[in-house]
C-alpha cells in the first residue's frame, strides 16, 4: 500500500508541476502580447518566468529524490523483514530435526509456503540455501539412523546450517550511532 501511495503522490506532483509551468508561461505570454510591454519590462518579466521555472524544476528534482529514497527505505525494510522471518522459519525447521516427525513436517511445509510467498524479497543465494537446508533437514535423522557415511552426514549438516551464516553476512545492519554529551556520557 505504501508504494501505491508514493506512486499516486508522484503522479499528482508531476501533473501539478506541469500545470503550474503551463499557466505561468501562458500568463507571461498573454501579458507580453496584450500589453505590448517595452524591452525593460519584457526582460524583467522573462527573468521572473525563468526564475519560476528554475525553482519549479529544482523542486521537482528534490521531490523525485525524496520519493526514490522513500521507496528504497520501504524496500529495504521489507527485505530485512523477509530475511528475519526466513531465519525464524529456518530455525524452527532445524530445531525439529530430532523431534517428532510430524512437527518437522509441519515446520517444513510452513517454510515451503512462506518461501513461495516471499522469495522475491530474499537474496537468491539465501533462498537457494534455505531450500537445500530444509530438504537436508527433513532427511537428516534418517541418514543418522541408518548410519550413513559420516562424511556425507557432516556435509548434510553443513548444508542445513549454511543459511545461518549467509543471512548474517549478506544482510548487514549498520549500528545507529549514539551521540555522546561533552562529559562523555551517552545521551
pLDDT, tens digit, for every residue of 73-129?
777 788 888 889 999 999 999 888 888 888 888 999 999 999 999 888 888 999 999
The answer on pLDDT for 187 being more than 50 is no
Share of the chain above pLDDT 90, in %: 20
Rounded to 5 degrees, what angle do the CA atoms 181, 184, 185 make? 70
Q: Residue 119 corresponds to which cell in the numbers above? A: 522469495
Helices (H), 36-100: 39-94
pTM summary value: 0.57
**Residue length, the chain?**
187
Poorest-confidence range of 17-21, 142-146, 176-180? Answer: 176-180
| CA-CA-CA-CA torsion sign (42, 43, 46, 47) | negative
Contact assessment for residue 121 and residue 82, using Cβ atoms and an 8 Å cutoff: yes
**Distance separating alpha carbons of residues 113 and 22, to the nearest angstrom:** 52
Question: Bridge partners of 182?
Answer: none
The CA distance from 89 to 131, in Å, is 11
Average pLDDT of span 25-50: 65
Encode 17-35: b = buried (16+ Cβ within 10 Å), e = exposed.
eeeebeeeeeebeeeeeee
Amino acid at each position: 500500500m505504501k508504494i501505491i501511495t508514493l506512486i499516486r503522490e508522484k503522479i499528482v506532483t508531476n501533473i501539478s508541476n506541469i500545470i503550474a509551468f503551463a499557466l505561468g508561461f501562458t500568463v507571461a505570454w498573454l501579458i507580453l502580447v496584450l500589453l505590448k510591454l517595452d524591452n525593460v519590462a519584457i526582460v524583467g518579466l522573462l527573468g521572473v518566468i525563468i526564475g519560476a521555472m528554475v525553482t519549479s524544476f529544482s523542486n521537482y528534482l528534490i521531490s523525485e529524490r525524496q520519493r526514490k529514497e522513500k521507496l528504497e527505505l520501504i524496500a529495504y525494510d521489507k527485505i530485512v523483514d523477509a530475511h528475519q522471518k526466513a531465519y525464524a522459519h529456518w530455525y524452527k525447521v532445524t530445531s525439529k530435526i530430532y523431534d517428532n516427525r510430524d512437527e518437522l513436517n509441519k515446520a517444513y511445509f510452513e517454510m515451503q509456503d512462506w518461501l513461495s510467498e516471499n522469495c522475491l524479497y530474499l537474496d537468491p543465494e539465501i533462498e537457494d540455501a534455505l531450500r537445500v537446508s530444509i530438504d537436508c533437514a527433513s532427511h537428516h535423522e534418517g541418514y543418522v539412523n541408518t548410519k550413513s557415511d559420516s562424511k556425507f552426514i557432516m556435509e548434510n549438516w553443513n548444508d542445513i546450517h549454511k543459511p545461518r551464516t549467509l543471512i548474517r553476512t549478506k544482510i548487514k545492519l549498520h549500528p545507529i550511532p549514539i551521540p555522546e554529551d561533552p562529559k562523555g556520557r551517552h545521551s
